[in-house]
Amino acid sequence: MKDEQIKEILQTELSKMPSSNFNHLVLSAILQKEKNRRSHYIPFDEPFIIGIMILGMLVLSFMLLYGNPKKMDSSSGYSNIYLIVLLCSFIPIFIIAMNTITVKIMRHKSKA
């Protein structure tokens, strides 16, 4: 059997996908892509988050280096303020960092 005959048979037998179905599938794919993009949406740009994290780490480092709770007079409440500021700095940074890591993992999984 000649190659041209085989090619002709295969071409004739090929199941043609209707254009309307094709358009529907492409549209679904575009919508899915958009849905994925939105589900991974972070309200801040990544450099902004990284900047916040670095600033937070600097504040924490400064406070750890120069702040000394033992020298603080507990009655004056400075130690409490120190702890509050520490917590207030750390918790948002922690939340943002975990969010970024989670999103990166999800993006990596969706690509896989």
Q: Is 33 in the site for other proteins (CB under 8 A)?
A: yes
Q: What are phi and psi of 107, to 5 degrees?
A: -65, -40
**Comparison of 61 and 107: residue with beta carbon closer to other proteins:** 107
8 makes contact with other proteins (CB under 8 A): yes
In DSSP notation, 77-107 reads: THHHHHHHHHHHHHHHHHHHHHHHHHHHHHH
Interaction between residue 29 and other proteins (CB under 8 A): yes
Q: List residues near other proteins by CB under 8 A.
A: 1, 3, 5-17, 21-22, 25-26, 28-30, 32-33, 36, 110-111
